[in-house]
Amino acid sequence: MSESNLRNLLLYGLFSIIGITFLKKAYPPFSPFFFQSSVKELKSCLERSLLLDSEDRIRRDLFDLLQNIVLIRDPEDARKFFPRFNLEDTSSFKDLDEHSKSVLKRLYYDYYFHRQEVLWRQNALKTLPVLLNSSDMLACGEDLGLIPSCVHPVMQELGLIGLRIQRMPSEPGLEFGIPSQYSYMT
């Protein structure tokens, strides 16, 4: 957690209470503070705290800060970390220097869009035929939004039709899709 994130807590005049209760000093080159509590511990502590119900904003801000992370510790090996999905949207990421941002972006894209690709394909080719053969129903694949690049080839391979929703076009810059331009069997 960066110092700029903690400045918001200073506005509440509660930094010392919050700092003693929830934060630990980190060692360089990491951010100056990190949460020593989990969401569950934070919730339990706040339920017993002296904060009034009218101070719900403080509670929300504390939870936001706790979730403002770029890396998630591997529960099986404390020395390993995984990038958080959409890490670029966090203020923690925005507070980093450009070199650190570049390194994290590279790791993020490698982890989510390259290393997982084979796993997605293998699982789809193992699971989908079983589902397709279990019913006479016409199945379609939800291929909207952020999807692995193997999705469309696997769908073609298995003869699955795609899903198109006019108000959710896959073409960038369009507010609405044009159904007459959709490919056949979608």
Q: 24 and 79 share a domain? A: yes
The total of structural domains in the chain comes to 2
User: pLDDT digit string (tens) for 35-52?
Assistant: 545 556 666 665 655 555
Dihedrals phi, psi of 36, to nearest 5 degrees: -95, 0
Residue pLDDT, tens place only, 133-172: 999 988 888 877 778 889 989 999 999 988 888 888 877 7
Longest dimension (CA), the chain: 64
If asked whether residues 138 and 94 sit together in one domain, one would say no
Q: How far apart are CA 4 and CA 2, in angstroms?
A: 5
Q: Which of 44, 76, 102 is the last residue in one of the domains?
A: 102
**Assigned domain for 123 exists:** yes
Range of the structural domain that residue 134 is part of: 117-181
Does residue 72 fall inside a structural domain? Answer: yes
Task: Say what the pTM is.
Answer: 0.59
Of 123, 158, 163, 157, whose CA–CA distance to 140 is shortest? 163
Alpha-carbon gap, residue 11 to 132, rounded angstroms: 57
Together in a domain, 90 and 139:
no
Query: Same domain for 65 and 12?
Result: yes
Residue 107: inside a domain: no
